[in-house]
């Protein structure tokens, strides 16, 4: 009787044998389904609205193709992400360029390539953008990233909207920056952006931020005659973790926020701005599974049983960074009683390289078994490193029984490709 775990019509054990492990596996149809939900429940429902996929969650050439085909824009945060997007022929007018410390060179490239929006993160950035646009004979469209001083209930390392955040312009400086932006002839100030953090599971912090920003919008209209055309509320929409598999629909987050924006604009007699969102994790997290091969098993009497896999914090640093919780199954032993509790650890030389604690598995788990860790589509591949000189895993998309390799596995020679000798030997 076959007991292997299947995903989007593909046998995961077969994929592990075909491509090796560790292996990132993504359901193409699930990603497309999430993009479709955004189109139907947000873009089509609210006229003039836009959605940008937050590329930092997971970005490859193939992912750019899907996002472009599904009609979403793209949020990039570095020259590297922008370069990848342009190599994928992603329409630059549908790109928004974020980052708290963009280099002059990155800004010049963004201006030269006619990137749709540049999100200004600090006061001095407007001078750099203005100069770059002037040299090119262009007018750059910008949003000002505002720090709304809202505390989202999430891990402190992934909160970004509170006072004291390294991101955004403090509220009290916004009038000055707006006035200056309006005075620069090479800039086109479109409106504002805020981002509250990551893995936020409640819509209410977004409501709080909207109340803050719409009051700012009203004051700026009264003081400078500036009418906000665009309001980007960021992303950070949370997904269910651990053993839960169904996340809140996109409408849970956007519907109350849109109602609030409309109500506040009516209250202040402001025209309704075009509203944008930037989901990343919500689109890809649950679409991803990471496959590992189990190696050493160490039972410490009276303590714990460690089961080691051939990856770890090098391909998923989130448990070590954020105490992120994951769930897994032994993919080649599905349906068997789970009467053994283990701790899954990685192969990196760090005591903190622990992927999952207290995981129930079949009692006959053994070296060579394939472990499938769920909900790894976001911030695993994108945060992977070569710590301990470990090559980064391959990436495979699966879709209704078909599999396609979209990122090749790194080799040991890839790790040395940029190194040079300093002595003749």
Q: How many Cβ atoms from other residues are within 10 Å of residue 235's Cβ? A: 26
CA 375 to chain CA mean position, Å: 13
For residues 380 and 316, the answer to whether their CB atoms sit within 8 Å is yes
Catalytic residue, chosen from 10, 64, 265, 349, is 349
Q: What are phi and psi of 18, to 5 degrees?
A: -75, -45
d(CA 385, CA 315) in angstroms, rounded, equals 7
* Tokens describing residue 18: 């075909």
Q: What are phi and psi of 27, to 5 degrees?
A: -85, 110
C-alpha pair distances (Å), 263 with each of 102, 223, 260, 404, 420: 35, 22, 5, 47, 62
The neighbouring-strand residues paired with 75 are 54, 96
User: Can 6 be counted among the known catalytic residues?
Assistant: no
For residues 347 and 310, the answer to whether their CB atoms sit within 8 Å is yes
Q: What are phi and psi of 364, to 5 degrees?
A: -95, 25
d(CA 176, CA 47) in angstroms, rounded, equals 31
All residues at 6 or more sequence positions from 206 whose CB lies less than 8 Å from its CB, including other chains: 196, 200, 233, 253, 256, 257
d(CA 374, CA 9) in angstroms, rounded, equals 16
Can you spell out the DSSP letters for 339-394? -EEEEEE-SSS-TT-EEEEEEEE-TT--TT-EEEEES-SSSSTTT---GGGPPPPE
Catalytically annotated residues = 349
């Amino acid at each position: 009787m076959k007991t292997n775990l299947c995903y989007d019509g593909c046998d995961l054990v077969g994929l592990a044998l075909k491509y090796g492990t560790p292996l990132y596996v993504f359901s193409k149809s699930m990603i497309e389904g999430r993009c479709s939900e955004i189109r139907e429940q947000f873009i089509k429902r609210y006229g003039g609205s836009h959605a940008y996929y937050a590329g930092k969650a997971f970005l490859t050439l193939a992912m750019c193709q899907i996002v472009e085909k599904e009609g979403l824009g793209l949020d990039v945060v570095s020259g590297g992400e922008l370069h990848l997007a342009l190599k994928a022929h992603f329409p630059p007018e549908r790109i928004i360029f974020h980052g708290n410390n963009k280099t002059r060179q990155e800004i010049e490239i963004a201006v030269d390539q006619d990137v749709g929006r540049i999100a200004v993160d600090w006061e001095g950035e407007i001078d750099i953008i203005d100069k770059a646009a002037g040299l090119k004979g262009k007018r750059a469209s910008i949003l000002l990233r505002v720090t709304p001083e809202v505390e989202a209930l999430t891990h402190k390392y992934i909160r970004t909207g509170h006072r004291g955040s390294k991101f955004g312009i403090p509220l009290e400086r916004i009038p000055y920056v707006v006035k200056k932006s309006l005075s620069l002839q090479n800039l086109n100030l479109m409106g504002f952006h805020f981002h509250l953090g990551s893995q936020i599971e409640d819509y209410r912090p977004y409501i709080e931020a909207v109340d803050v920003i719409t009051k700012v919008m009203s004051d700026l209209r009264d003081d400078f005659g500036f009418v906000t055309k665009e309001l980007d509320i960021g992303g950070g929409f949370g997904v269910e973790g651990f053993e839960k598999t169904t996340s809140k629909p996109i409408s849970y987050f956007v519907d109350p926020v849109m109602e609030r924006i409309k109500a506040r604009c009516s209250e202040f007699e402001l025209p309704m701005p075009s509203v944008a969102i930037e989901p990343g994790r919500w689109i890809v997290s649950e679409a991803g599974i990471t496959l590992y091969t189990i190696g050493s098993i160490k039972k410490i009497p009276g303590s714990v049983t460690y089961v080691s896999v051939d990856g770890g914090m090098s391909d998923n640093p989130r448990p070590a960074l954020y105490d992120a919780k994951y769930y897994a199954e032994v993919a080649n032993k599905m349906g068997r009683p789970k009467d053994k509790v283990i701790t899954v650890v990685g192969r990196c030389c760090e005591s903190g390289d622990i992927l999952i604690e207290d995981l129930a598995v079949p009692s006959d788990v053994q070296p060579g078994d394939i472990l499938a860790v769920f909900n790894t589509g976001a911030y695993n591949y994108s945060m992977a490193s070569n710590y301990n000189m470990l090559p980064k895993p391959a990436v495979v998309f699966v879709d209704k029984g078909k599999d396609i390799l979209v990122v090749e596995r790194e080799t040991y020679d890839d790790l040395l490709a940029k190194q040079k000798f300093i002595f003749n030997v």
